[in-house]
Structures are given as structure tokens and as C-alpha cells.
Amino acid sequence: MTQTRMRLLGAAMMLVLSVAVANAATIEVKIDNFAYTPQTITVKAGDTVTWTNGDDIPHTVTSKTGAFRSKALDTDDKFSFTFATPGIFPYFCALHPHMTGSIVVEAGP
């Protein structure tokens, strides 16, 4: 491969990556009144989900599959996770296991 072709290929790859990053979204989930709201969301691969604890007691965001795990979040603390691969990711609060939610990740753009 010539140097010019390698440069063009490198530039094309950077463009694809920048478009993918530009299309990525951040989706908010609130933790309030011992519940995740919304409880189930659908995102695209590459999107970031941010949970914010609005309760006055600690909660966690803990994946049932081990994909992610937050520390105990105090009031107004946040936890973010970027979902790279499609799939279904159920989660719960390790301190209050009746609190559950699910992230459905579809293939990205």
C-alpha cells in the first residue's frame, strides 16, 4: 500500500470514529423514591447512561451480569457507564435488591 493510500485510509478511519462519537448520546436515569426512572431504557451501542441518586439514602447500580458496578451513591452522586456491545443488561441496587432496572442496547449507527 502506498503512503498516500495509507494516509487516506487513516483519515477515513478517523472520520468514522468521530461520527460514531458525535452520534453517541448520554441518557439520564434518576434514582428517586427507591426506584430507577425510567426502569427500562433502550440505547444504542456507544451511548452512555448516567444514573443520579435523588434519594437521601445511598443506592448502587449493579449489573446482574457483572458488566458494571457503582460504589454506593450518596444524594446527588452520579454513576456513568458506556455500553459498547448490544444486549440486555439487567441491574439492581445491591443495598435494596427490590430496586431493579434494565438497559437494552441495540447495535450502533
Share of the chain above pLDDT 70, in %: 78
Count of other CB atoms within 10 angstroms of residue 9: 11
The string of pLDDT tens digits covering residues 41-91 is 999 999 999 999 999 999 999 999 999 999 999 999 999 999 999 999 999
Question: Do 47 and 26 contact (CB within 8 A), yes or no?
Answer: yes
Within a domain: 74: yes
Q: How many domains does one find in the chain?
A: 1
pTM of the predicted model as reported, rounded to 2 decimal places: 0.78
Q: Which CATH number is 84's domain given?
A: 2.60.40.420
Burial of 39 (0-12, 13-18, 19+ CB in 10 A): exposed
Work out the mean pLDDT of the chain and round it to a whole number. 87
Within a domain: 14: no
Dist. CA 71–CA 53, nearest whole Å: 12
Q: What is the pLDDT of residue 19?
A: 43
Within a domain: 93: yes
Q: What is the pLDDT of residue 51?
A: 98
| Placement of cell 450502533 in the chain | 108
Q: Is 18 helix (H, G, I), strand (E, B) or coil?
A: helix
The three three-digit cell numbers of residue 47, written as one number: 451511548
Domain span at residue 50? 24-106
Q: What is the pLDDT of residue 5?
A: 60
